[in-house]
Amino acid sequence: MPHKIGFVVVSSSGHEDGFSARELMIHAPTVSGWRSPRFCQFPQEIVLQMVERCRIRKLQLLAHQYMIASKIEFYISESLPEYFVPYQGERFRRLGYVSLCDNEKTGCKARELKSVYVDAVGQFLKLIFHENHVNKYNIYNQVALVAINIIGDPADFSDESNITSREKLLDHYLGHNTEDPALEGTYTGTSDYISPLDDLAFDMYQDPEVAQIIRKLDERKREAVQKERYDYAKKLKQAIADLQKVGERLGRYEVEKRCAVEKEDYDLAKEKKQQMEQYRAEVYQQLELHSLMDAELMRRPLDLPLQPLVPSGSPCHQKPGPSLPQLEERETEIKFAEPFLEEKPPSFSVPISPQHSAADQLLPATDPHPKINVEPLPYDERPLPAMRKQQGEALTEPEMSDADFGDAQREGVSGEPEPLTEKALREASTAIEVLGETLVAGAYSKVWSCREDALLALYKKLMEMPVGAPKEDLKSTLRASIFLIRRAIKDIVSPVFQASLKLLKMIITQYIPKHRLSKLETTHCVERTTPLLLSRTGDSSARLRIMAVNFIQEMALFKEVKYLQIIPSYLVQPLKPNSSVHLAMSQVDLLARLLKDLGTRTSGFTVDNVMKFSVSALEHRVYEVRETAVKIILDMYKQHQTLILEYLPPDDSNTRKNVLYKTIFEGFAKIDGKPTDAEIRAQKKAATQEAEKQRKEQIKALQEQLAALKEMEAEVQEKESGAVKPKNQDTQGRRAAPPEAPEIADNHYLDNLCIFCGERNESFTEEGLDLHYWKHCLMLARCNHCKQVVEISSLTDHLLTECDKKDRFGKCYRCSEAVLKEELPRHIKVKDCNPAKSETLANRCPLCHENFTPGEEAWKAHLMGPAGCTMNLRKTQVLQKAQAAQPGKGPAVAKSGSSGSKVGSKIPTPRGGLSKSSVRTYTKR
């Protein structure tokens, strides 16, 4: 069976001070592992020598949280490499590599445990570390390895395979199947099974001393299974599980102590050390008390020689040891390590002979489920409870409260609760007179099972009360029971709390109606317990919190409690600013639930108290509370529409700036069947799109009409030219060629022509016009934000309505230009902009921000003329080129500009042959 293989570090390429590679030989919660030198050269390597020649089956690497190598390679060799033993060593054989995660998803706060399954034989293992992953924490570019674990088999067990094959052959003829799926996952199910105790995670979270004890007990457990002592093996299994909790707690203490020392918080370090020593001493004291302490079991792991852990059945490494005791399990009733394995006391015990080892003395007890007793520890520092099954259903060991920790005496072997203290006697004097000291002592016991048994005994006692008993006795018994229930409601142990709820429900629904007690007794029960139950709805334990919320809802619906209207009055109390998050969420959730069940008529809930509570809850710091309050208000509006509006601010633009109120008013509109703001915006957008579509259709129709007119004009000209033809023939005496120039001019008038600036050029093919639009046309400009080419006259509209970055612009009400929203307040406040005039009175240039003569032709004069816009960069470039071509002359308008003005009257405007959209949507290819 593969097991943990010991090793020593032979060499390493370097290390940082205090982080030697020899740290890898120790597995414990506080180990730091190996780190490479700062700003080292890569690759780095480490050579390990295993204690014997092995067949490696599994390698486990625990990487550092931020000093992470990008890749780790593995090599194996049978003997020392050449650089250690010249001329005698052999080369390493490469096994492969693993890649490590860069750990960015966890913020470099979690360590990666990498498991690699291999099958290689050798005694020397070499690890090569490649360059590190770069992150903000690894400022020195180091790589590190916290721990490495090697799992395998000794390679020299030649006879073991023969034994295994003989056993399999015998099992085959006897009808036994060792590969039974029911055995899979156990050490007998498969020869490749690896014990969880050999896993690296076990050692990295366990106290080393406790881990040593657990391994010894696990060996005894395997021996018990081989001898078919299954009850005994079951006890050992449970003891190991409980000891693992103890080891984890001690390991956590050690880590906290180490962190405190690093922070130089020596008071905290001293406190953690004392807690460890006290806890360990109490465990060992009980071990000695029951003769469970022996030298072999309690030896420190560092005192042990370095040797591999091999199966007890291994033929080469089997050691003599004490055999399992031959006493029957039913003859022994002892508890193992009573302070940390809490259990109800057995009826008798048998003395243990000192010659047996500690593990041999761990015989089965009456109760097959020993439990961890965590009395000496504060609640938040106790081990997690072990899961177990009892009487056919799984139960979880509950944790103990802070109140249970004190200097009181431990539970005696007789199983009786400890005597009441003087303070408890004074506090519970009335209950003792009615219920008896034994029952009350059980309710006050520091053992949770005794407290639970006391409540169940009281439940039975109340159920058995005769119907004809005196009213005074019944009332006094009820009030004494409520006193104990109030104490049990505060208990954080789940079974005790659950027993108190069971008892309270029985009193309200059965005890009081059965004995026909007055409603004053029901009122007493509800009023005395409801505040405590509400406080438990803010418990940190989700299980207890849910139980409390569900019980309050159930109790409010009891017919005996419903008409009293007590619980609603508690739920509409304003939330306290310093109350816990869970408490506030539970109160609002309970209010929403009960409103649906009870309504607002005769339940204690009114429109006034519910709305005042809900409106105040809208200001709570927790989002879930505010969200639930919104739901409550919407539910109330469905029933009382006009009354609800009185408790809310007016529905105006200022109020709707608050997201919660906006959600509320939109919810009201939806309830009333009115369109919400989002729906109104969608309708407006749809109407705008429809209008734009109609406008485009109209433009298309006008363009078609214009094309038809041009065709008609061309036909008329053809007829006129046909009438001239006979005259030419008569005068010339021969047939004259028809003049083609006018026809070509009419049919191809728009060829090689820019319809915006009027320039005609032979290079204005389809591609030439694209280049002209993109770089040279004086009437066009490129948008600096979306890079589209648009007309300068419509640049402002483009920025406000069409640009990809239109959400970043706003319109100045004074100059009517598009301004960045972040600069708009300052722009308006300074008042430096030139006020715009109406479109009928003047055009507004978005480049120079000046007003000029209205009309389409005025745009050409302003943008292309020498005395026009001074901010048109394209015009400036044309003027500069003209000056360079004619030195000594003043600035002149380029030929393209003059030709444009010359034929400008004959050129259709941009809204004619070509639409603006054809240019606005043009982008550079």
Give the tens place of pLDDT for each residue, 463-508.
Answer: 998 888 898 999 999 999 999 999 999 998 889 999 999 999 999 9
Decide: 447 and 345 in contact? Cβ < 8 Å.
no
Cβ-count burial 324-353 (b if 16+ within 10 Å, e if not)? bbeeebeebbbbbbbbbbbbebbeeeeebe
pLDDT at 779 over 70: yes
Q: How many CA atoms lie within 13 A of 762 on its CB side?
A: 0
Structure token digits, residue 228:
């078919």
* CA gap 115, 128 in Å, rounded: 16
Mind listing the pLDDT tens digit for each residue in 23-48?
898 888 888 899 999 999 999 999 99
pLDDT of residue 284: 64
pLDDT at 105 over 70: yes
* CA gap 436, 429 in Å, rounded: 10
User: What does the pLDDT average to over 782-795?
Assistant: 89
Cβ-count burial 28-42 (b if 16+ within 10 Å, e if not)? bbebbbbbbeeebeb
Handedness of CA 683, 689, 693, 695 (dihedral sign): positive
Decide: 595 and 572 in contact? Cβ < 8 Å.
no
Min mean pLDDT across 72-81, 313-322, 882-891 is at 313-322
pLDDT of residue 359: 34
Q: Which residues, listed in sequence order, are joined to residue 760 by a DSSP beta bridge?
A: 753
pLDDT of residue 687: 83
Decide: 200 and 62 in contact? Cβ < 8 Å.
yes
User: How sure is the predictor about 412, in pLDDT bands with cuts at 50, 70 and 90?
Assistant: very low
Decide: 307 and 51 in contact? Cβ < 8 Å.
yes
Task: Name the residue among 751, 731, 740, 780 with its Cα closest to residue 913.
Answer: 751
Mean model confidence pLDDT for the chain = 75
- Run of H or E including 595: helix 581-598
pLDDT of residue 903: 31
* CA gap 650, 663 in Å, rounded: 14
**Measured in whole angstroms, how far is the alpha carbon of residue 196 from the centre of its chain?**
29
pLDDT at 921 over 50: no
Q: Which residues, listed in sequence order, are joined to residue 115 by a DSSP beta bridge?
A: 60
Hey, how many other C-beta atoms are within 10 angstroms of the C-beta on 97? 13
pLDDT of residue 103: 85
Contacts of residues 96-102 at CB distance under 8 Å and 24 or more positions apart, as own/partner, are 97/71, 97/72, 97/73, 98/61, 98/71, 98/72, 98/74, 99/70, 99/71, 100/63, 100/68, 100/69, 100/70, 100/71, 100/72, 100/133, 101/68, 102/68, 102/133, 102/135
- More confident site: 160 or 782: 782
Hey, how many other C-beta atoms are within 10 angstroms of the C-beta on 638? 11
User: What does the pLDDT average to over 101-112?
Assistant: 86
- Run of H or E including 542: helix 542-556
Structure token digits, residue 204:
């990295």
pLDDT of residue 188: 45
pLDDT at 899 over 70: no
Task: Name the residue among 73, 115, 79 with its Cα closest to residue 94.
Answer: 73
pLDDT of residue 397: 36
DSSP letter, residue 327: S
User: How sure is the predictor about 358, in pLDDT bands with cuts at 50, 70 and 90?
Assistant: very low
DSSP letter, residue 760: B
- Run of H or E including 387: strand 387-390
User: What does the pLDDT average to over 522-526?
Assistant: 93
**Measured in whole angstroms, how far is the alpha carbon of residue 274 from the centre of its chain?**
37
User: How sure is the predictor about 388, in pLDDT bands with cuts at 50, 70 and 90?
Assistant: very low
Burial of 392 (C-beta count, 10 Å sphere; 0-12/13-18/19+): exposed
Q: Among residues of the chain, what percentage have pLDDT more than 70?
A: 73
pLDDT of residue 272: 86
- Run of H or E including 594: helix 581-598
Structure token digits, residue 77:
């060799």
- H-helix segments, 21-147: none
Burial of 96 (C-beta count, 10 Å sphere; 0-12/13-18/19+): exposed
- More confident site: 342 or 11: 11
Cβ-count burial 741-772 (b if 16+ within 10 Å, e if not)? eeeeeeeebeeebbbbbbbbbeebeeeebeeb
pTM more than 0.85: no
pLDDT of residue 725: 54
Strands (E), 24-143: 34-35, 44-63, 71-77, 93-99, 113-129
pLDDT at 341 over 60: no
Q: Among residues of the chain, what percentage have pLDDT more than 90?
A: 21
| Structure-token match 């389409």, residue found | 856
Decide: 795 and 872 in contact? Cβ < 8 Å.
no
Task: Name the residue among 880, 895, 872 with its Cα closest to residue 759.
Answer: 895
pLDDT of residue 408: 35
User: How sure is the predictor about 723, in pLDDT bands with cuts at 50, 70 and 90?
Assistant: low
- More confident site: 419 or 730: 419
